[in-house]
């Protein structure tokens, strides 16, 4: 990547982050807008460009990197399918180029987060890294021998759609029992509310003013900090699911590093401790001990910086 500044765009299920960065990964300016999927994809993406163009240093931008949830054809810049956005076969790259007149790279948001984790959390030193994103959905990215691994159809890294229960909850992707239907933010929030109804918690009740409709995963974290038994039991449940996912990843890919990012990582050891116990009981021993599992220190900006760093990753 040259010294010109890059625009990174991270399109999430609820909001879009935009950041202009330099070659030292420093954010020069940043903006956030809500994800309005009521608009047509083209109208929405036009709005994204308009808002990005208002950022300081936008006139110096030479390239744009975009992370978006779903199955992305990286080569042609097409979003083939996104269950969370409800979009199919959208030429993201061409639409953004049409309105920005700049070179555009588009990839799955799990891939862009893994690029961010590689450069920010491991300083480019990890050889084999897996990034798992816990947000509205569950995604991921794989780096092998320091190169982003996309697979034969650019679809690799869909951690959220690994089946862990073959006969349980349906997922937006069309499958049943995916990791995402247990650890996706909306799903885990709903599970927590139902669990709290059955296992009363005065601490949680006080935090939400006795109105569970106000409950969020931030509430869960606050309750856990207060050592609330119900909150800790919910984290044990989520940690077990996460640990099963970790064990599967370790047994299949033998990474030296797993980086966890996204909103749920605010819980830190509340979810990581039970997850690591599951890893030790389910994964092969030596690969499990070899793999370092961490929460990203850059979780709030990993995806947007990773999107901007796509071009750098391609030149390794």
Judgement on whether residues 144 and 280 belong to the same structural domain of the protein = yes
Question: Which range marks the domain in which residue 185 is found?
Answer: 124-295
Q: Are 218 and 281 found together in one domain? A: yes
Q: Do the Cβ atoms of 250 and 162 come closer than 8 Å?
A: no
- Same domain, yes or no: 134 and 283: yes
Partners of residue 72 on adjacent β-strands: 79
Residues 306/25, Cβ–Cβ less than 8 Å: no
Q: What is the pLDDT of residue 23?
A: 81
Same domain? For 128 and 45 the reply is no
Number of structural domains found in the chain: 2
- Same structural domain for residues 214 and 309? no
Report pLDDT for 316.
58
Q: Which CATH number goes with the domain that contains 58?
A: 3.30.420.40
Give the pLDDT score at 55. Answer: 97
User: 128 and 164 share a domain?
Assistant: yes
pTM of the model: 0.90
Note whether 217 and 131 are same-domain residues.
yes
Same-domain pairing of 195 and 87: no
Q: Taking a C-beta distance cutoff of 8 angstroms, is the pair 55, 18 a contact?
A: yes
Same domain? For 149 and 281 the reply is: yes
Q: Are residues 49 and 137 in the same domain?
A: no
Instruction: Answer yes or no: do 243 and 141 share one domain.
Output: yes
Residue by residue, DSSP assigns 172-227 as: TTS-BSBTHHHHSHHHHHHHHHHHHHHS--HHHHHHTTT-GGG--HHHHHHHHHTT
Mean pLDDT, 10 residues at a time, the chain of 316 residues:
80 91 89 90 96 95 93 95 90 97 94 94 96 90 95 93 90 92 95 96 96 96 97 97 97 97 89 96 97 92 92 68
Distance separating alpha carbons of residues 305 and 26, to the nearest angstrom: 9
82 and 150 in a single domain? The answer is no
């Amino acid at each position: 990547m040259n010294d010109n500044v890059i625009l990174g765009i991270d399109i999430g299920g609820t909001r879009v982050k935009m950041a202009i960065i330099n070659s030292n990964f420093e954010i020069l300016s940043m903006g956030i807008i809500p994800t309005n999927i009521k608009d047509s994809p083209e109208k929405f993406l036009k709005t994204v460009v308009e808002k990005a163009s208002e950022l300081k240093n936008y006139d110096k931008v030479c390239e744009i990197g975009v992370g978006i949830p779903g199955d992305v054809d990286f080569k042609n810049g097409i979003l083939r399918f996104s269950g969370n956005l409800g979009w199919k076969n959208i030429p993201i790259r061409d639409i953004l180029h049409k309105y920005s007149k700049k070179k555009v790279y588009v990839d799955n948001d799990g891939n862009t987060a893994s690029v961010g984790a590689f450069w920010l959390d491991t300083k480019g030193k990890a050889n084999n890294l897996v990034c798992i994103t816990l947000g509205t959905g569950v995604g991921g990215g794989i780096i092998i021998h320091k190169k982003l691994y996309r697979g034969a159809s650019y679809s690799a890294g869909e951690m959220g759609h690994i089946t862990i229960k073959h006969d349980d909850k349906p997922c937006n992707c069309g499958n049943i029992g995916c990791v995402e239907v247990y650890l996706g933010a909306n799903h885990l929030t709903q599970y927590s509310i139902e669990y709290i109804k059955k296992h009363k918690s005065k601490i949680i009740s006080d935090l939400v003013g006795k109105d569970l409709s106000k409950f969020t995963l931030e509430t869960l974290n606050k309750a856990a900090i207060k050592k609330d038994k119900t909150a800790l039991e919910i984290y044990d449940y989520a940690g077990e699911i996460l640990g099963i996912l970790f064990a599967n990843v370790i047994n299949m890919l033998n990474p030296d590093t797993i980086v966890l990012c996204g909103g749920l990582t605010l819980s830190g050891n509340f979810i990581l401790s039970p997850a690591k116990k599951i890893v030790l009981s389910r994964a092969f021993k030596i690969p499990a001990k070899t793999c370092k599992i961490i929460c990203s220190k850059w979780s709030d900006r990993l995806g947007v910086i990773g999107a901007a760093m796509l071009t750098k990753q391609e030149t390794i």
